[in-house]
Chain A
Amino acid sequence: MQPSRLATPVATIEQLETSGSRLDGVPADLEDSMRFAGARLTQAAGILLRLPQEVVAQAIIVFTRFFAGPEGGSFAEYDAKQISASSLYMIAKISAAPKSPRSIINVYAYLDSFPHTFLDIEEVEKKKDAEEYFVSEGMFQEHKARLFAVEPVILKVLGFQLQVSLPYTLCITYMQALDVFSQPRASELARRAVARLNDMLLSPQLLCLTHQPPCLATAAIYLAAKEVGVQLPDVEWWEVFDTDREELGFLVVGMLSVTSFAIEEKEKWGKRSVPMTVEELDLELSSRRASTGED
């Protein structure tokens, strides 16, 4: 039977219960932080590479799938940064907007040159000395070898399941079906809804691994309409898009919580960097052990 093109593969209950990282002794909160930072890194690289958001979203989902489940990859075994780069490179390669290894490596080197994970806008806009992120030919060859070496690892862990269906186009179709574009604040609504879908990619609840695109699109529109103040039909319109009230409610709460999660993360890490490699993770774990030992 041909699976619907609207449907996306979802994680099993076993894959949500635990993960390779937690089996390797990475605390759950640190795992959430690393997954969040990794997804943001992919998103930032995608923007700098001027990749379509569809490609970026797909790469983030591949990254998230890789680190999910007991048979998935572990942050204690693979550099989160490397999985992010290789996922983005591989997904761009099979898309209509491929990027060269050189571009990918340059962009990741540039992002790596920032002093910590959660940057203020001034820090991002400050012009940097090109020396800080220059990739020499020797380093390039080394990075490229690693970029390529990780590709088959990702494919092996995912069993070559790279198929991702995204909610973006559905979201627009649904808004058209709801006839919102005749309303004055429609473009703001559309912008908010798409922003909510982008949030969903960063959710610590792994919304993008547990819900189908029609439900995600519906919840994003519902939430955006509340935020922008656009009147939607006074009936249970979400059922038209195959979402029931319970699921809608769950997703709305889930999407809303991404914001507070992001603020908490920023406060928690302050001027420190979230570990993005196995080495940095080991340092973080030993410093945590040291501080609990002192108490």
Chain B
Amino acid sequence: MAGATRWGGTEDLEAQRKKEKEEKKRLKQLKQQQAEAEAAAARERKEEEESEAASRPAKKRKLSTSPSADANGSSMTEKRKLLRFQAGGWGPCRNISNFETLNQIEEGSYGWVSRAKESATGDVVALKKMKMEYAQDGFPVTALREIQLLQASKHQHIINLREVVMGDRLDDVYLVMDFIEHDLKSLCDTMSEPFLASEVKTLILQLTSALSFLHSHWILHRDLKTSNILLNNRGILKIADFGMARLTSDPPPTNLTQLVVTLWYRAPELLLGATTYDSAIDMWSLGCIFGELLSKEPLLQGKNEVDQLTKTFSLCGLPSDTSWPAFRRLPNARALKLPRDPGNAAHGIIRTKFPFLTTSGCSLLSSLLSLNPDARPSAEDVLNHAYFKEGPKPKPTALFPTFPSKAGGEKRRRASPHAPVRGEVAKGLGDKEIDFSGIFAKRDEEERGAGFTLRMG
């Protein structure tokens, strides 16, 4: 027995010695490899230094020109200024364990959002867990697009994506974004009075500047609504949730999905089944948001696609061949039965619905809510609109009131319908004919004049 133990003992010892030897060998090898690697990289590094030096022209100029300047007193060798472009680098994703969850905020169309603290820095951030529905095409293309577009959209009024982190499993993916206290939806729900005209102007201007940035970078947001628009306590607005966003082109791509934009903010061409559309669908949503901020109520709360279209037409008027020449060619337009002569119904009731709005404000709202997408102004046009130049002036963000943050505290309730789910079959308007001839029956009896108000902010 003793022999066996001793035998076992020497084996252990030997194994350990062997292990140590191997460990040493491995370290030596590693060292050698690193030396080799360094030698190999030396050339690249040298080059790197060169380009780095070039990126600091001031230093380089001093180095290279001072001797010659001393020698012949001329500034002939003065370096021309070359632009240096920087776009960062890459590194592996950090782990979610760097963050402590504080509270849940809400469930969005493409993930769950919670408030969290980064343990190392104490920064409070918003964490959005991506919904990973591995279907037929591997890593969800929607998640990839959302991340790519957020990375490409660095703008004061667009939510800042700090980084993407992963959990222990490879399909746990979280977006780390700046935490913003409010969203316009819950603000509108809790405020006792709507925003003042001056506040609405500031909000719409900020929102439009972000839209102008997105559209000029060929990005369609495709899900603008008040719950996706965040506001911090310093009055700065940020667009969030790029889960539906995509790149576009001119002319716009064909066969786009019509299942975009939450129903209440969905443009009529989408309701009518258009598969080629452009930035005008975001401008329609902007119009809806404008109306909602003015009245504190979502403008068009349809129960389904048909009801949404009915409400849209009763607010904005019926489409006609003159106001919207292309609409009859849209897939679902065949199901519409429109009166031959719409008469008064051709003009909407926007003016009546917003009696407090000034004439230019009303013209802006009506143009954003043009049924014909080509008639809607671009984001750039909106920024230059007369409405923002007349009194009351847009309120400086520093003077914005602060509100208690729902997102910072309790779980938020959600009243607006969800964004459509990708891959769902577009419902269309059904086979049944939809009769729109009756919806304006009693228009003449309605009160028409603009009321007046003392509260102009």
Q: Which residues in A have some Cβ–Cβ distance to B below 8 Å?
A: 1-13, 15-19, 22-23, 25, 28, 65, 69, 71, 89-90, 93-94, 96, 98, 101, 147-148, 151-153, 155-163, 165, 205-206, 210-212, 214, 239, 242-244, 246-247, 250
Chain B residues lying within 8 Å of A25, measured Cβ to Cβ, are 29, 33
Question: Whole-angstrom distance between the alpha carbons of A13 and B92 in the complex?
Answer: 16
Residue B47 at the A interface, CB < 8 A?
yes
Inter-chain contact B92/A71, CB cutoff 8 Å? yes
Q: How far, in Å, is A105 (CB) from chain B's closest CB?
A: 12
Inter-chain contact B33/A148, CB cutoff 8 Å? no
Inter-chain contact B90/A161, CB cutoff 8 Å? yes
Residue B78 at the A interface, CB < 8 A?
no
Q: How many residues of B contact A (CB 8 A)?
A: 53
Q: How far, in Å, is A99 (CB) from chain B's closest CB?
A: 10
Secondary structure call for the B interface:
mixed
Among B141, B151, B253, point to the contact of A93 (Cβ < 8 A).
B141
Q: 1/0 per position for B156-187, CB-CB distance to A under 8 A? A: 00000001101000110100000000000000
Chain A residues lying within 8 Å of B47, measured Cβ to Cβ, are 210, 250
Inter-chain contact B50/A147, CB cutoff 8 Å? no
Question: Whole-angstrom distance between the alpha carbons of A15 and B249 in the complex?
Answer: 36
Residue B40 at the A interface, CB < 8 A?
yes
Among B38, B141, B163, point to the contact of A94 (Cβ < 8 A).
B141
Name which residue of chain B comes closest to A93, CB basis. B141
Inter-chain contact B144/A162, CB cutoff 8 Å? yes
Inter-chain contact A9/B87, CB cutoff 8 Å? yes
18 contacts between A and B (CB under 8 A): A7-B86, A10-B87, A16-B48, A25-B33, A28-B37, A71-B91, A93-B138, A96-B249, A101-B138, A148-B134, A152-B170, A155-B93, A155-B173, A160-B164, A163-B148, A205-B44, A246-B54, A247-B51
Inter-chain contact A93/B37, CB cutoff 8 Å? no
Q: How far, in Å, is A61 (CB) from chain B's closest CB?
A: 11
Among A2, A22, A206, point to the contact of B44 (Cβ < 8 A).
A206
Inter-chain contact A157/B50, CB cutoff 8 Å? no
Inter-chain contact B144/A242, CB cutoff 8 Å? no
Question: Whole-angstrom distance between the alpha carbons of A56 and B83 in the complex?
Answer: 28
Residue B45 at the A interface, CB < 8 A?
yes
Question: Whole-angstrom distance between the alpha carbons of A212 and B48 in the complex?
Answer: 12
Inter-chain contact B89/A11, CB cutoff 8 Å? yes
Inter-chain contact A159/B154, CB cutoff 8 Å? no
Question: Whole-angstrom distance between the alpha carbons of A25 and B37 in the complex?
Answer: 11
Chain B residues lying within 8 Å of A15, measured Cβ to Cβ, are 89
Q: How far, in Å, is B53 (CB) from chain A's closest CB?
A: 9
Question: Whole-angstrom distance between the alpha carbons of A145 and B6 in the complex?
Answer: 51
Among A1, A10, A156, point to the contact of B166 (Cβ < 8 A).
A156
Chain A residues lying within 8 Å of B30, measured Cβ to Cβ, are 23
Question: Whole-angstrom distance between the alpha carbons of A250 and B48 in the complex?
Answer: 11
Name which residue of chain B comes closest to A66, CB basis. B90
Residue B43 at the A interface, CB < 8 A?
yes
Chain A residues lying within 8 Å of B93, measured Cβ to Cβ, are 155-156, 159-160
* Beyond A17-B34, A156-B93, 17 extra complex contacts between A and B, CB < 8 Å: A1-B154, A3-B154, A6-B85, A7-B85, A9-B90, A23-B30, A25-B33, A71-B91, A94-B144, A152-B171, A153-B170, A158-B90, A159-B163, A160-B164, A163-B148, A244-B82, A250-B47
